[in-house]
Amino acid sequence: MAFIMVVAFAGYGCRKKTLKRKEEQRNLGAISITYNRSNLNFKYETLEKATNYFDAHTKLGQGGAGSVYKGTLGDGRVVAVKRLFFNTRQWVDEFFNEVNLISGIEHKNLVKLLGCSIEGPESLLVYEFVPNNSLDHYLFDNNKDKILTWRERFNIVVGAAEGIAFLHEGMTIRIIHRDIKTSNILLDENVCPKIADFGLARCFATDKTHLSTGIAGTRGYMAPEYLVKGQLTEKADVYSFGVLILEIISGRKSNAFVEESGSLLQTVWGLFRSD
């Protein structure tokens, strides 16, 4: 009897997993047709080989939506492959969002999306490879490979500002990133910043003043008025950018709490009010 129950539960688990994957594929069906006919589509097997079958030694990092691996394509191009595991509708939505929003965008301060793979056992995004890790690594890690000079910090602030301005004003639609933070600022070989991870981004027409949407972002970077009202405008990114500048200048995390002075924002606000 116990054996039969174990087999039944195992069968149920396998069936549930299969149905879940089929639902994800149906959700991705429309985009599959579009990208299979374009040069943005990569075969799953190609990316498997490029990353040495997602070997741990090629892993660059991991975020909320998945892991990122370094890969070398057959033509010699070095790329970053984001490996996504969908377990909720949210991940499917974020995949759609990122592919649709940034596949045609080119700017020196935005990470370029080269394509995607959606036909294999898991969905993948392919980006240009940015070699020098993310900004948080240089600001907050104890084992720092390099201390950023003030000139480099200034250039990072200016470059990030130019990337955000392009999203807000450089196209026929406005794109609000919603997750500007140090771990989403990548640095290239010249320490030039590139904004990454558009999974939470939203776009709206230039004639609209705001977009009502669910709250999303990272604690410590979200604008208070956005948190309270849920009305998204460019100011949400501007607030996050301001927090980013404070972190670059101080070397402190925005959400780190110091007993004597509180968070970084509380410290700065206290200094501002004392003048």
The residues assigned a catalytic role are 179
Please state the separation of Cα 243 from the chain's center in Å: 18
Distance CA 164, CA 171 (A): 12
Please, what is the angle between helix 89-102 and helix 2-27, to 10°?
20
CA 166, CA 8: separation in Å to the nearest integer? 55
Distance CA 184, CA 107 (A): 16
CB 41 within 8 A of CB 116: yes
Tell which residue, 160, 173, 172, 175, has the closest CA to residue 240: 160
